[in-house]
Chains A and B, each alone.
Chain A
Amino acid sequence: MTQDLIDNGNYTTGINVNNGVGAPTSDAQNSVFVLGGGNTIAWGPKVQANRHVRLLMPGNDSNGVEYNLQAIQTLKVSPTFTVKNTTFWSYTKRDTISTYYYSEIIDPSIFMENRTEFIFKLEKGTLNTGLDLRYQRVKAYDDYFFEPANVWDLTKDHNFINVYNSNAFRNGGRGFAVPGWPGRFAQPGLFNGDTNDSKGTTVGPFAQGTWNANEKFSIVGGVRYDYFKAEVREPLLPPFPEAEIDVWLPNYNASLVYKPTKTSSVYFTYNFSKNTSGAVGNGGGITGWGAAGLDQELFQQPSTLYELGTKYALAGNTVFLNFAVYDQKRTSKSTSSTVIQEYRYKGFEAEMNYQPNKHLYATLSYSSIDAEASAGFQYGLFGGASEMPPASPSTCSTASSPTPLTTASASPPTPSSPAR
């Protein structure tokens, strides 16, 4: 990726010359000599990029099946007391191969949840309390440590975008064979933080209440306290270590709502929670390996949110305006990594909904986010300076620090809620 490509669409061609001479006519990408990183590339001319070309070999694909079942039962015991039970079951199996090279196999992921709510209508508010039970079983195998993304030339024959041709990738390179999947390889979860054979069980009591002190003031408060138990097995790297861990994960939120007029409101929301690390890229599941086994900190990553907003209804309840500013700080395990890092988001959102009658609506929204991550994504995972075209930054491609991004849309209004 170069700035010239972003600004002007100019793509720098070139293939590896790791063998000192370049590609034979029988191998347009010189794929036999491709390395996982540190490739030496002979840069060719810049050409205008075709925006529809993708870094894939013909036949590369992703296939998956997912089944979801949900049952919701509601029992109205009295005008002021309702019991609601929600059961959800999900099964996912997915296989992705991109021979440039990225591989992921989820075989399978099974998720079950049962949530019982006791909903009370009170004189000056509501109370919703209950118990949430969850279970997730995942086997996933992922491989992207031999991923020479910059070494391929998108203008040359895509039939040779294939690391399986590479001498360095013979028998998966430094990858491990995936059980039950001949010819497929993956990195241990101990290395990449994604591959996992895991079971996660959650028992989560919760309560949320709204108290309308008077016509102008309301208070919303909620608490949830999850007991979470994880059982994790490393499925690839002998001696296939197994470990268990259990943690308590709090989640509190509180909102103050003030209605200066009948058609406007101002709210302030605070939320604090601790959250469990997961295999972020690929179908969930639990990893959380640290240097000395399962790392307790990876299972209790804090997140704090402050939000201040205001809402208006104008023009006889046909135009609705929402404005909000927020500040969120959280720690999380980056994709494709075993390392947690800190993220900080500050943002502003504005939304206008126009609903002239109950049949039609339109929405215009704007959001601006200033975000920082404490470290770049996958820094150093890609090939390094030798794989960057001349006169372009010598750093790797990373994702961080988005500056304001403008969006304008007209889409279905989302349920209005002060909580994010």
Chain B
Amino acid sequence: MNNNTAGTLVIPPQYTFDVGASYKYKTWDFRANILNVTNEENWSPPNAV
């Protein structure tokens, strides 16, 4: 991902792995999610403000 208009500052390919499961019982829906299970230290483009 280019991080500036010149393309000279680049965020390399990176990933996030989330897992989740749900269980439905009658009128109930139980859900659990774990975000970024592998604890990746990812970069994001600069906040515009």
Interface residues of A (CB under 8 A from B): 1-3, 6-7, 51, 102, 104, 142, 144, 281-282, 334-336, 358-363, 375-379, 392-393, 395-412
Contact = CB atoms under 8 A, between A and B. Distances in A.
Chain B: number of interface residues, binned into ranges? 20 to 34
Nearest to B23: A359
Main secondary structure of the interface of A (DSSP, over half): loop
Given A335-B49, A397-B9, A399-B48, A411 B2 contact: no
Contact of A410 (B10, B12, B18): B18
A399 B49 contact: no
Interface of B: 1-25, 31, 33, 41, 43, 45-46, 48-49
Contact of A3 (B9, B16, B17): B9
Main secondary structure of the interface of B (DSSP, over half): loop
Given A6-B43, A281-B48, A360-B22, A399 B3 contact: yes
A359 B41 CA distance: 33
A399 B31 CA distance: 35
Contact of A399 (B19, B21, B22, B45): B45
A398 B13 contact: no
B49 to A, nearest CB: 5
25 contacts: A1-B9, A51-B41, A335-B48, A335-B49, A359-B22, A362-B20, A376-B4, A377-B48, A378-B48, A379-B5, A393-B6, A395-B4, A395-B6, A398-B46, A399-B48, A400-B2, A400-B5, A402-B45, A405-B1, A405-B13, A405-B14, A406-B15, A408-B18, A409-B17, A409-B18
Contacts, number: 111
Given A359-B22, A405-B1, A405-B13, A144 B49 contact: yes
A6 B22 contact: no
B4 A402 contact: no
A285 B10 CA distance: 34
Contacts of A397: 3-4, 9, 46
Contacts of B31: 412
B20 A6 contact: no
Given A281-B49, A360-B23, A3 B10 contact: yes
Contacts of A361: 21-22
Contacts of A359: 22-25
A404 B2 contact: no
4 nearest interchain CB pairs? A376-B5, A335-B48, A399-B45, A393-B8
Contacts of A377: 46, 48
A33 to B, nearest CB: 25
A393 to B, nearest CB: 4
B15 A7 contact: no
Nearest to A5: B43
Contacts of B14: 405-406
Contact of A412 (B1, B9, B13, B20): B20
A375 B5 contact: yes
B1 A403 contact: yes
A5 to B, nearest CB: 9
Contacts of A2: 9
With a 10 A CB-CB cut-off, give which of A336, A399, A402 has the most chain B CB atoms: A399
Contact of B21 (A51, A360, A379): A360
B2 A406 contact: no
Nearest to A408: B17
Contact of B24 (A7, A358, A396): A358
A252 to B, nearest CB: 30
Given A395-B9, A399-B46, 7 more contacts: A362-B21, A398-B4, A400-B4, A401-B2, A402-B2, A408-B18, A411-B20
